[in-house]
Structure 1
Amino acid sequence: MSSHHIVRDDQEPALIIANGAACSQELMDQLLEWSPYIVVLDEAIKRVLALNIKVDVLIGDFDRNFDPAPYLAMQYPLEVIHDPNQENTDLEKALNFLLKRGIKAANVIWATGKRADHTFTNITTLVKYRDTMKIVILDDYSKIFRLPATYKKWYTKDTILSLIPVGTARGITTTNLNYPLQKEDLVLGVRTGSSNSVAADGLVTITYESGDLLLMECTD
């Protein structure tokens, strides 16, 4: 059974496994290597246990007559959290659970693909937790997270970086991108910064004055 390291004081992000399209085994192994806590959403448990992964928590509303009992017999210990609140998505239930446990960082996989409505909702959920958690959504082609007001990171030339506002993000300024912005606004559905790219090996800086701006580091 694939296990994961126990990291003191939850210094490493928890790993949330949603119920969208699966990622590669390589990406999953990389995240499992450093994840002290594994949370699985609802019916994804079937696919996760088939991969022989050690799980800490199963959480969801358990609708559609889903019965978690058989999985308690398959893996021990396994904490089962039934949260019937229909005002929150299963991903939000998992994030709220982690916050209650004092865990303020999470990587999320299997959150994209399959149903488009789930993908869109999962990605925009990053905004809801802007002030409480550091959340990264990953799949085999993208790494997605909300940008702080000032962001700096070294990238290689031609790395694809998409700047996606949730609502309106104002006063955006960038350096070392092929399509630079100078105190400009991006508006979801009107103007976004999709498929920009790094101009040269080196530091990329992105700043903005207000709103919510997501960065998607993309590979083809």
Structure 2
Amino acid sequence: MSSHHIVRDDQEPALIIANGAACSQELMGQLLEWSPLVVVLDSAIERVIELGIKVDVLIGDFDRDFDADSYRERQYPIEIVHIADQNSTDLDKAFNYLIKRGIPAANVIWATGKRADHTITNITSIVKYKEELKITMYDDYSRIYTLNKEFKKWYEKDTIISLIPVGEVTNITSTNLLYPLSDESLVIGERTGSSNSVLEDGLVTIQYKNGSLLMMECHD
């Protein structure tokens, strides 16, 4: 599988491939079709090469035996970015790399599943970059992204929506949800908005005042 790399002056989202559970070939193909830049975390590179994907950037701390020349030969041209910072994850490194390049958005796959600690860290880390990078995380069952303080989107009836706070989120008000919120708070570990759903075909609106709120559009 190779990406088409349709470059639109860095306006289309880059694709970051992490090292969690693989997604479907169909989902990966859809995202590759519109990705001008494919960034792979170093721990996933062999899995990605096996799928025949052309990699543009390989990034990480390379904290194991690593032969850069072999990847340059197999994936030429490829940019290899070594960041020996043990205080940030490889996904953080990829986000910061895109921000420095001035790329405004990123889609992320293979960031969930497998190790639970990696899944939790990867999902919650996207809120750190919400002011600098529009990040959407995908797997075969969910689409995850941060919500602006005022959100409006059309959905079909019964679409599963989960509102997950990172920390505490206050003064949340929603419309057109089966379980509406009216100037209420959500707190991770105490009360979340998991497994809500759209009441009727039409616009869903969500507003809140403080905190970081994740939207998870889910399907079984």
Q: TM-score, normalised by structure 1?
A: 0.98
Distance 2:69 2:177 in 1: 51
Q: Which residue of 1 aligns with 2:16?
A: 16
The CA deviation at 1:43 is 2.0
Structure 2, unaligned runs of 5 or more: none
Residues in 2 aligned to 1:69 and 1:217: alpha-carbon distance in whole angstroms? 41
Does residue 184 of structure 1 match 2:202? no
What's the offset of the Cα at 1:126? 1.1
Structure-1 residue corresponding to 2:217: 217
4+ long deviations beyond 4 Å: none
1:97 paired to 2:97: yes
Query: How big is the shift at 1:127?
Result: 1.2
Over the aligned positions, Cα root-mean-square deviation in angstroms equals 0.9
Q: Partners in 1 of 2:75 and 2:186 — Cα distance?
A: 47
TM superposition shift of 1:72: 1.4
Report the AA paired with residue 208 of structure 2.
Answer: Y
Q: Percent identity?
A: 70
SS at match of 1:69: helix
Once the two structures are superposed, what CA deviation does each residue of 1:179-206 show, in whole Å capped at 9, x if it has no partner? 0000000000000000000011111111
Q: For the residues of structure 1 that align with 2:2 and 2:219, how far apart are their CA atoms?
A: 27
1:61 maps to which residue? 61
Alignment of 1:17-96 (within 5 A): 17-96=17-96
Does 2:37 correspond to 1:3? no
Question: Structure 2: how far apart are the matches of 1:71 and 1:149?
Answer: 43
Aligned amino acid, residue 67 of structure 2? D
1:211 match: secondary structure: strand
What is the TM-score when the length of structure 2 is the normalising length? 0.98
Deviation at 1:87, TM superposition (A): 1.0
Residue of structure 2 equivalent to 1:196: 196
